Amino acid sequence: MSAAQEELAEKLARQWGLVLPDTISEQEILNRLTARISTLLQGNAEAFFQLMYKLDIPEKKLNQVLHNEEAPALIAKLIYDRQLQKIESRKQHKGGPETAEDPELQW
């Protein structure tokens, strides 16, 4: 598992209340997230939609999968991919060449 995937597993465990072992596959994370999403959709749809908004899951993509019989699994994949994208984006933009140490960028 890559460092980004490890960070993602930790983040998803915190956000969704998942208990994950130290070493886990992407598919197992998705399976556990799918189960949690199913429970949330059945028990508290409003909280589910608030989480989707906080996680910045595009409404258009969510609406495309919401009425599918495999919706919880498809939503889990949307969440997984979006969170991984955020982690990778933060790493790319952290400490790049445009740092305060760059003399051309100092006022």
For the residues of 52-65, what is the DSSP string, one character each?
HHHTT--HHHHHHH
Residue 83 in any domain: the answer is yes
Residue 104 in any domain: the answer is no
Q: What is the mean pLDDT of the chain?
A: 84
Residue 95 in any domain: the answer is no
Residue 92 in any domain: the answer is no
Q: What Cα–Cα distance (Å) separates residue 94 from each residue in 11, 35, 62?
A: 19, 34, 29
Residue 102 in any domain: the answer is no
Cα angle, residue 42 at apex, residues 75 and 87 outer, rounded to 5°:
30
Residue 34 in any domain: the answer is yes
- Burial status of residue 75 (CB atoms within 10 A of its CB: 0-12, 13-18, 19 or more): buried
Residue 1 has pLDDT above 70, yes or no: no
pLDDT digits (tens, 9 = 90+) for 36-71: 999 998 998 888 888 898 888 988 999 999 989 999
Give the pLDDT of residue 29: 92
Residue 107 has pLDDT above 70, yes or no: no
Domain span including residue 43: 3-87
Give the pLDDT of residue 102: 47
106 vs 31, more confident: 31
Domain count, the chain: 1
What is the model's pTM? 0.79
